[in-house]
A and B are shown apart, each in its own frame.
Chain A
Amino acid sequence: MLKVDSTDKAKLIDPLFRTSPLFRASVLALLVVIGWGVFMYARQIILGLGETGMDRPTYWGVYMVNFIFFIGISHAGTLISAILRVTGAEWRRPITRVAEAITVFALVVGTLQIIIDMGRPDRLWFVLRYGRLQSPILWDVVSVTLYFLGSVTYLYLPLIPDLAIVRDNAPITAPSWQKRLYSFLALGWRGNREQWRRLEKAIAAMAVFIIPVAVSVHTIISWILATTVQPGWHSSIFGPYFVVGAIFSGIGALFLAMTAVRRALGLEEYITLRQYRNLGLLFIVMNFIWFYFTYAENLGIAAAQQIEEFVVLASKLWGSFAATFWAMIIAMVAALWILVVPKVLGAVSWSRRLARPEITVASAAGAVATFLLLVSPPISWLEPLYATAALSDPVSRTVAWALLIVFAMGVGLGTAPWLKEHPVASSVFAAILVVIGMWLERWNIIVPTMTHPRLIAFSSYLPTMTEFSLTAASIALFLLLFLLFFKLFPAVSLWEIAEGRLVEEAHSKVSVPEPEPSQEKRGLRWVQRE
């Protein structure tokens, strides 16, 4: 009989045996969305991929974007949790389970995207039967499969002691299938010394093993694109660029998931501000690295101005993909702002004076007005006033854009004190922006290159109802898997938390000697000499 802390039991074990109406309603709602997706997929199978918005030359569309996005999300987990485990970061303890679960489910949903995208899903097994290892798709099959198996193992291993704890502490009223499930999955865990030794060894080995596999997964996905000769894809930095983006979006997903779990189960004492702060720092670093890569990737194209590549970049900068490209940039800048500015607000004295509600409102109004003026089509009845004619002139447009940025900064400064007071909410805002921004990033990589090929007329691409439905269904499936998993298994690793408490206790017993006060104050030393 394994013992458990009474708060842990109330917060983490008891909810596994209670089903709230909200849970049932959410599952039902998600099932409806998934059911609609299944219907639309069946339609797509029967009628063909012509039901999507894809065409020639846009042979790959939203499904491919979703594939890269979900596989990217999957880096939340295992990679981050493994790195934190290997480096012995104590604060990882309450969030590793959530992170690892994201990985497994994002991989399932991501792989599903490829099957949805296939013209002949009935021939999927050909990949094993006739697979050519020279094809980047086969590299992907190998690495994603390895990553999936590794992630499932890596999720399961730290779950074993928890399963035994749940097995031994299940209420008497618990349904018998659930009890049987826990005792089966606990593999006879008794928590003796030898079992612990083996488990720790296995977890440590898996943590080291999973890091190169995770890196390989997103590198290889980028190589699917980079090994072709298509303009905008044939880039040597795509591998690291994609890995960075994957970890970046993964942290965003982790923020959202851990906040959801924290709210749903009331785990404020487990997932504390310490986790938000530390993960937030990692988030800021990844944001900077992401910007560095994005800049490096596009600068080469912009400076060289090769005919085929530059049209792709031009379409992103001011052409048909300007909206999605700049939305991505704005999302990332805003996410960076939300995380950084509240932290440095106190350091700069004048910024405090600007951070006031009236300035926020005024800036927001100014920003909206400037933006509307910039994007509005020429209005004929305004022509005598030259109101829009003035803005067709490049100089005044540049001034207007600069003004818009200033207004946006005003809004950002005004909201900063609120963000500083609400670190969880601001992390969630930043995470939402980054997750959307990273989806757009994949869109901006796949679609502009597809629509600007070398020897086919440039085209445009708009997803259809089928693609929207299947995307919604994929997200719903991801959420459903997540929901069901945490209905069955503890959301926070019980034994790791208990271990963390012991570590903290030991730390608290270490006494650091007080520093000796210096004889004279530093500043005064010079004064006295004079």
Chain B
Amino acid sequence: MARWAMVIDLDKCVACQGCSIACRFENNTPAVKPSEALKGRAIRWNDVFPIPINPEEEESEEYPNVKTRYLTRPCMHCANPPCIKVCPVRATYKDEEGLVRQNYDRCIGCRFCTVACPYGVRYFNWHKPEWDGELAEANNPDRLEGQGVLEGPAVRPLGVVEKCTFCIHRLHKARARAEAEGRELRSEDYIPACVETCTGKARFFGDLDDPESIVSQFEQSPRAFRLLEDVGTHPKVIYLREG
């Protein structure tokens, strides 16, 4: 069984927010009104945001002597996710490949998972999602749908929680293709949209259980760290420290 993981090299990241936009169109996350975004209700499965620097150690002056740090943050797909432990109805759960899944058809909107997640990567549909004009017709038709299951880029109904899925629909498509071609699924068959689009080639994706994979090799790097390691969530998104 695979153990999917992502590596984000902060040295290479130029904070272009391409991953965020690619994610938005891949996964049909609606843009909210500016007034709502100001209230913190914007939905960005892959958020790119500045993190405060320590002014005593680093200088941040007038342009051009500016130093800003950015972090891009997808769902960590923790090995020990606090969110799935609190869900009362198993609307969010970890599958056998270590992906933390979110079923929009099951979610009751109690927002316990959003409260429990220390990374703040879970988003709630405060309003019915809307798209302006032609954008509404240009939604990604991909989705995982079944008996009481609605996952992936499927447009979320009002009042449920959603989050980054590591583009789970792409995994399903890749697996179907591999089956049709009568071969095993290869690691490189499955890449989330953000990794595919990354301008600085700062993102890598692969299987941690495969010691030869690029993510396994980066995991050994002395630059590798994970967010909030002290919380005990064991994230599967590995960052590479700026040099």
Instruction: Write the residues of chain A forming the contact surface with B, with a CB cutoff of 8 angstroms.
Output: 47-50, 54-60, 114, 117-120, 123-124, 126-127, 129-132, 134-138, 141, 224, 227-230, 450, 453-457, 459
Q: Is B41's CB under 8 angstroms from A229's CB?
A: no
Report B-chain residues with C-beta under 8 Å of the C-beta of A132: 87-90
Chain A's nearest CB lies how many Å from the CB of B45? 12
Q: Is B115's CB under 8 angstroms from A450's CB?
A: yes
Q: Is A119's CB under 8 angstroms from B90's CB?
A: no
Report A-chain residues with C-beta under 8 Å of the C-beta of B228: 454-455
Assembled-state Cα–Cα distance A132/B83 (Å):
13
Q: Is A455's CB under 8 angstroms from B119's CB?
A: yes
- Interfacial residues of chain B within 97-140, with CB under 8 A of chain A in the complex: 106-112, 114-116, 118-120, 123-128
For the complex, count residues of B whose C-beta is within 8 A of A.
42
13 pairs across A/B with beta carbons < 8 Å?
A48-B128, A49-B159, A50-B36, A57-B40, A59-B114, A59-B124, A119-B158, A120-B109, A123-B108, A126-B106, A126-B108, A127-B89, A127-B108
Report B-chain residues with C-beta under 8 Å of the C-beta of A456: 40, 120
Q: Is B127's CB under 8 angstroms from A130's CB?
A: no
Assembled-state Cα–Cα distance A402/B131 (Å):
58
Candidate in A60, A229, A457 with the most chain B CB atoms within 10 angstroms: A229
Q: Is B85's CB under 8 angstroms from A56's CB?
A: no
A125 (CB) vs chain B CBs: closest residue: B108
Q: Is B108's CB under 8 angstroms from A135's CB?
A: no
Q: Sort A-B residue pairs by CB-CB distance and give the 4 closest, nearest first.
A: A119-B109, A119-B159, A50-B126, A137-B88
- Interfacial residues of chain B within 77-99, with CB under 8 A of chain A in the complex: 82, 85-90
Q: Is B126's CB under 8 angstroms from A135's CB?
A: no
Q: Is B160's CB under 8 angstroms from A49's CB?
A: no
Report B-chain residues with C-beta under 8 Å of the C-beta of A137: 86, 88, 110, 112
Report B-chain residues with C-beta under 8 Å of the C-beta of A54: 126
Candidate in A57, A119, A138 with the most chain B CB atoms within 10 angstroms: A119
Report B-chain residues with C-beta under 8 Å of the C-beta of A136: 86, 112
Q: Is B112's CB under 8 angstroms from A230's CB?
A: no
Q: Is B118's CB under 8 angstroms from A454's CB?
A: yes
B85 (CB) vs chain A CBs: closest residue: A134
Report B-chain residues with C-beta under 8 Å of the C-beta of A60: 111, 115
Report A-chain residues with C-beta under 8 Å of the C-beta of B66: none
Chain A's nearest CB lies how many Å from the CB of B19? 17
Chain A's nearest CB lies how many Å from the CB of B104? 10
Q: Is B86's CB under 8 angstroms from A227's CB?
A: yes
Report A-chain residues with C-beta under 8 Å of the C-beta of B123: 56
Known: A47-B127, A48-B126, A134-B85. A229 touches B108 (CB 8 A): no
Chain A's nearest CB lies how many Å from the CB of B234? 13
Check if B227 is an interface residue, CB within 8 A of chain A: yes
* Residue of B89, B110, B115, B232 touching A230 (CB-CB under 8 A): B115
Given contacts A59-B111, A123-B89, A228-B82, 12 further A-B contacts (CB under 8 A): A55-B39, A56-B120, A119-B124, A120-B160, A123-B108, A130-B106, A135-B88, A137-B110, A141-B88, A228-B86, A454-B228, A455-B73
Render B128-163 as a binary contact track against A, CB cut-off 8 A, 1 for contact: 100000000000000000000000000001111100
Chain B's nearest CB lies how many Å from the CB of A413? 45
* Residue of A228, A229, A459 touching B40 (CB-CB under 8 A): A459
Known: A47-B127, A59-B114, A118-B109. A454 touches B119 (CB 8 A): yes
Render B25-67 as a binary contact track against A, CB cut-off 8 A, 1 for contact: 0000000000010011100000001000000000000000000
Chain B's nearest CB lies how many Å from the CB of A445? 13
Chain A's nearest CB lies how many Å from the CB of B81? 11
Candidate in A59, A118, A124, A129 with the most chain B CB atoms within 10 angstroms: A59
Q: Is A120's CB under 8 angstroms from B159's CB?
A: yes
Report B-chain residues with C-beta under 8 Å of the C-beta of A127: 88-89, 108
Report B-chain residues with C-beta under 8 Å of the C-beta of A138: 88
Assembled-state Cα–Cα distance A455/B114 (Å):
13
Q: Is A120's CB under 8 angstroms from B36's CB?
A: no
* Residue of B88, B120, B160, B231 touching A119 (CB-CB under 8 A): B160
Assembled-state Cα–Cα distance A118/B161 (Å):
11
Q: Is A135's CB under 8 angstroms from B82's CB?
A: no
Assembled-state Cα–Cα distance A243/B207 (Å):
47
Candidate in A56, A127, A450 with the most chain B CB atoms within 10 angstroms: A56
* Residue of A123, A124, A131, A229 touching B232 (CB-CB under 8 A): A229
Q: Is A124's CB under 8 angstroms from B108's CB?
A: yes
Q: Is A55's CB under 8 angstroms from B88's CB?
A: no
Report B-chain residues with C-beta under 8 Å of the C-beta of A118: 108-110, 159
Report B-chain residues with C-beta under 8 Å of the C-beta of A59: 111, 114-115, 124
Assembled-state Cα–Cα distance A58/B119 (Å):
14
* Residue of B87, B112, B161, B231 touching A224 (CB-CB under 8 A): B112
Candidate in A137, A138, A455 with the most chain B CB atoms within 10 angstroms: A455
Report A-chain residues with C-beta under 8 Å of the C-beta of B106: 123, 126, 130
Q: Is A453's CB under 8 angstroms from B160's CB?
A: no
Report A-chain residues with C-beta under 8 Å of the C-beta of B159: 48-49, 118-120
* Residue of B86, B90, B111, B127 touching A50 (CB-CB under 8 A): B127
A56 (CB) vs chain B CBs: closest residue: B40
Chain A's nearest CB lies how many Å from the CB of B64? 26
Chain A's nearest CB lies how many Å from the CB of B11? 20
* Residue of B40, B107, B112 touching A135 (CB-CB under 8 A): B112
Assembled-state Cα–Cα distance A184/B87 (Å):
43
